[in-house]
Structure 1
């Protein structure tokens, strides 16, 4: 058995091998083998990555913390929910994560006649990623929107929301 840490030798000059491709992707390729299974390091790395993914999917969005951070950056915000009742339904019924809950739809009414831009922060499949990145991204985007002279709707923080929940939110806010 060859050592996966050794540099790969192409079968034909100029033809990349699987090990050559390891540096080009995060995919799990050319991990090696130990009997019928994976080497211990590869199996442990997979287990850790799987646990991180499950945590990202099941960690709830802390909408209050995001709204407080937006407020600290001088951004007005509102909170809404999708038509999903819980995380299990969110995972099983993507269509409901794309729609606003009826009570949330009315929250958006009355925020003005329309805006050039609406920013929607939805938890999607990783509230962890949203917690780390949404406020800095929204702050940077809002600054560019203001420099361009465009009107900005209150930032909408949507729990249990899929990407397409931005469509009914934008429509309710009259975003252009």
Structure 2
């Protein structure tokens, strides 16, 4: 074995500790080693299962530990329609919309299945609890559990409930390294059909222990919510400065 080969054998395991990317896998002839090929197939199967597994709202309700909930569906009547018609996943079912409660609330949390029910089942309830604990002075609406939902469904929900701010916790599109990633999308005064992604703030890859921890994500989200209310908007004009504050505090 050459000196270069020895160094590579030592280098790749070290680098793999710091990333979930598939690097330095080696080869067997012209293909991947069998163990890595099987790993890719398993990851692909997990991603497909995440997309197609049905949403189980009862799992989320149990994790919310008594917080009131409301269940709704989008205008996409089934999973196939949801995948083929993203526009329908952004609109509430008319019957469900009519039955949403309205009140004098500051924010509504929407737990949406999105493209990974697994992510929602595992991470949404702890994330709601961790964030709500940081908002003792906010009037929080009943948590809305939304099936066949896209991010923009939160705009329709906030409009129907009369809340100025909406947080959509949604299963993100699964990749080959993460099938359980939860995203949090914050929007201030959304307008259905008008608000765009540029008007939102997003926290991605919430999935401890391999991704963002609940407490860290909740701290960032609560900070963004407070500054959004002061600024009067979210999106490209609102930046996450929590890491900057942390570095500054440590420097002092």
Match of 1:169 in 2: 157
Q: CA RMSD in A?
A: 2.3
Shift of 1:172: 1.1
Q: Which stretches in structure 1 are left out of the alignment for 5+ residues?
A: 9-17
TM-score by length of 1: 0.81
CA contact (8 A) 2:102 2:162 kept: no
Which structure has the bigger radius of gyration? 1
Runs of 4+ in 1 over 6 A off after TM superposition: none
Residues 28-58 of structure 1: CA deviation (Å, up to 9, x unaligned): 2332221221110110110111111111111
Structure 1 Cα separation of the partners of residues 149 and 50 of structure 2: 15
1:167 to 1:159, Cα distance in 2 relative to 1, 3 A: same
CA distance in 2 between counterparts of 1:63 and 1:169 reads: 17
The yes-or-no answer on 1:96 pairing with 2:88 is yes
**Higher-strand-fraction structure:** 2
1:78 Cα deviation from its structure 2 partner: 0.2
Aligned pairs for 1:95-114 within 5 A: 95-108=87-100, 110-112=101-103, 114=104
- SS state at 1:89 partner: helix
Q: Is the 8 A contact 1:19 1:29 kept in 2?
A: no
Per the TM alignment, residue 5 of structure 1 is displaced from its structure 2 partner at its CA by: 6.9
**Larger RCO (alpha carbons 8 Å, 6+ apart):** 1
Q: Given the two structures, how large is their TM-score scaled by the length of structure 2?
A: 0.58
The alignment status of 1:153 with 2:153, answered yes or no, reads no
The change in CA–CA distance for 1:34 and 1:3 in structure 2 (over 3 A counts) is farther
Specify the SS of the correspondent of 1:119: strand
Aligned to 1:15: none
Alignment pair present for 1:77 and 2:69 = yes
Give the CA deviation at 1:143.
2.3
Kindly indicate which of the two structures has a greater share of residues assigned to helix.
Answer: 1
Q: 1:130 and 1:82 mapped to 2: Cα distance?
A: 17
